[in-house]
Amino acid sequence: MFDAFPYDEWGEDIAGFWTFGPESSTGTYILTVLGIAVMLIAFVMFVRLESRKLAAQEAALRASGALDRPGGAVIVETTTTIITEG
């Protein structure tokens, strides 16, 4: 496999480079907490959006009469009579 990335040229000074400080610093923890918070907020907002869409679809189905029966199913009974001569 061809590997052209110059890892051998890296020293300890470049390995510790980080915008908010070296690893295990306060900036790393702040970014981690902010990332988790944004992820949780996005998940909650997604669930709320889907809940609103589901409620709107339910209202549309109830208005059309599709959900008037318990369970939301339409029950149809048919009887078939087979007459044979013989």
Determine the average pLDDT of the residues in 23-28: 73
> Residue 58: in which H helix or E strand, if any?
helix 26-64
pTM for this model (two decimals): 0.53
The neighbour count for residue 58, using CB atoms within 10 Å, is 13
Q: Where are the beta strands (DSSP E) in 1-86?
A: none
pLDDT the model gives residue 77: 79
> Residue 12: in which H helix or E strand, if any?
helix 12-15
Of the ranges 11-15, 25-29, 50-54, 59-63, which one carries the lowest mean pLDDT score? 11-15
The residue ranges of every structural domain in the chain are 21-62
Sign of CA dihedral 64, 67, 72, 74: negative
